[in-house]
Amino acid sequence: MSKMMEQLRSAILGRSPLVYIYSPEEERIMRGIRSLAEEQSQNVVTWSCVLGLEGAGPETNDPVEAIMTIIRQGLTGMIVCKDLAPFLHEPRVERALREAYYDGRTKPERTLFLLCAELNVPESLKKEVHVLEIPTPGEDEILALIHEVSTANPDYTIPEEALREVTLALRGLTENEIGYVLHRVCRLQDATKDQLLDEIFAEKKSIVKKSGFLEFSPPRWAIDGLGGLDNLKQWLIRRQHMFSHEALAAGVPIPKGLLMMGVSGCGKSLAVKTISSLWNIPMFRLEMNLVFSGMYGTPEEAFHRALTTIEAVAPAVLWIDEIENALGLDESGQKIASHIFSSFLTWMQEKPPLIFIAATANKIQALPAEVLRKGRFDEVFFCDLPAPQERDEILRIHLTRNGANLEEFDFKMLQIMTEGWNGAEIEQAVISARTEAFYENRAFNQRDLTNVIGRIVPLSDTMEQQIKAIRSWAFSRATPASKFGKSAARRV
Ligand SMILES: Nc1ncnc2c1ncn2[C@@H]1O[C@H](COP(=O)(O)OP(=O)(O)OP(=O)(O)O)[C@@H](O)[C@H]1O
Ligand SMILES: [Mg+2]
């Protein structure tokens, strides 16, 4: 039996006179209620604000009249009010519902369902109303939908080897959304597993886009484009299959989140971007500037909405860049927006397991101990300036990306010349060398690069003290992202 049916049945058996169903899926819920009513030999009556109460006159389009008619006529069975949400805060409607509750206690054969797409129970009715939050279709329901769509489109079946991942990726979508995706997929003859997953991610992307402050980050960055940082890469690779069907079925603890802090330009944001392609789950970046902008209601409301939106598209990665600013902390860790900060911590504790949080931080001293304490994030990594071998790797990545012939470069010399450089500076030097050679209409070479390197002053020269402070803070609090870790001899 599906989770939805279990929830509906326990509400009926629990004899709650008023049941508030929180779900945007009217058709699916109605089907569930009808099948339960059949099983319990009860009848179903619906109310909507344009059709009124089924079997009663047009005067019952008015919600109070409808509820009072139910009471006066002593109606029994499962009565479903579809449009009550916008009226719920009117004093007359609240009163009528309270009357229905008292009356319903003497009529166990009647259940009044309030079917609402948002959770908006008036404070004064919270004690009387039994709230059911119905999750989107679970695995069994998704498999049944896939079967249904395949039967309707006999020319197309989802390949057996892709079925499990497709089922997992479809979680979080409503029944209708799953239907649209599957019908679109059926038109892609001979689609590969990756194409199927892309189609599903596109649907999730469009859902999230409606929220305004979550931005889809495409799975475009491969992990081999990240130079050095081997401890971090290994951590990510080891968890590559944790969001798979097998891991879930085996009950393997699912990673909760990762915090990356450290020196600017050393690949923190780039590392986050690689997660989505490595793990094959969509990633959404939370734009906290927009949450705080007031364009979407109060920051607290907007933040809450962002978290519920991301829950609706799980499994997913939620990327929070510069978490210290995002959570409303000032330079010294004082909480400017303390509601947001505390609701985020609570949410991290209780969030659905299929959401992975990837956070980055620059001003680590601004992060209070509550964020860092064990159990919040699975790991806190520190990204330092790259060690010589890592600079070598980063150079090779960016030279290759810019079409250079690696044979023409003296890497020993470049390693020495870039001592104390971060990845962003190395990338910038390669791009400048290429641009200059392009101006002279030739391929770029070692000399172009050494000329540029000679002119750039790395951040570590100007920010020596800050980098030392970050390092000493990180020493006892974070795991080095680089395999050369704390032992690497570095200039700064
Ligand atoms: N380890 C690395 N390997 C390859 N490229 C790198 C590496 N580190 C940095 N880069 C290059 O520098 C760019 C900037 O890096 P990124 O934005 O990830 O740094 P960051 O640590 O997030 O910096 P900030 O703290 O300023 O946000 C990347 O897009 C990438 O091209
Ligand atoms: Mg960054």
Structural domain spans, the chain? 3-133, 139-207, 223-383, 388-462
Please tell me the distance between residue 426's alpha carbon and the centre of ligand 1 in angstroms.
Answer: 10
Could you tell me if 270 and 424 are in contact, meaning their C-beta atoms sit under 8 angstroms apart? no
Q: Dmax over Cα atoms in the chain, in whole Å?
A: 92
What contacts 388, CB < 8 A, 6 or more positions away?
415, 416, 419
Residue 168 alpha carbon to ligand 2 centre in Å: 30
Question: Side-chain half-sphere of 217: how many Cα atoms within 13 Å?
Answer: 26
Which ligand is in closest contact with the Cα of 220?
1
Looking at residue 400, its pLDDT comes to 95
Fold of 388-462: Helicase, Ruva Protein; domain 3 (1.10.8)
Q: Which residues surround ligand 1 with Cβ inside 6 Å?
A: 226-229, 264-270, 360, 362, 383, 394, 397, 423-424, 427
Beta strands per DSSP E along 117-220: 130-133, 214-217
Sequence-ordered alpha helix ranges (H) in 213-298: 230-238, 245-250, 268-279, 288-292
Whether 296 contacts 290, CB under 8 Å: yes
What whole-number distance in Å separates Cα of residue 265 and Cα of residue 301? 33
- Choose which residue among 269, 381, 456 to substitute to test ligand 1 binding: the one with the highest number of ligand atoms within 8 A of its C-beta: 269
Domain 3-133 has CATH 3.40.50.300: yes
Q: What 8-state DSSP symbol labels residue 224?
A: G
Walk along the chain (492 residues) and give the pLDDT tens digit of each residue.
Answer: 788 999 999 998 888 999 999 888 999 999 999 999 999 999 999 999 999 999 998 999 999 999 999 999 999 999 999 989 889 989 999 999 999 999 999 998 999 999 998 777 888 888 899 999 888 888 889 999 998 888 888 777 777 777 877 887 888 788 998 998 888 887 777 777 778 888 888 888 887 877 778 888 877 789 999 999 999 999 999 998 888 767 777 888 889 999 999 999 999 999 999 998 899 888 999 888 888 887 877 777 788 878 888 887 888 899 998 888 777 666 555 656 667 777 788 888 888 788 999 999 887 777 777 787 777 899 999 999 999 999 999 999 999 999 999 999 999 999 999 999 999 999 999 999 999 999 988 889 999 999 999 999 998 888 888 888 888 888 888 899 999 876 443 444
Ligand 1: which of 220, 383, 427 to mutate, most ligand atoms within 8 Å of CB?
A: 427
The ligand 1 atom nearest the CA atom of 390: 1
Nearest residue (by CA) to ligand 1, atom 12, is: 424
- The CATH homologous superfamily to which domain 223-383 belongs is P-loop containing nucleotide triphosphate hydrolases (3.40.50.300)
Shared fold status for 223-383 and 388-462: no
Going by C-alpha positions, the residue among 383, 257, 259, 385 that lies closest to residue 322 is 259
How long is the chain?
492
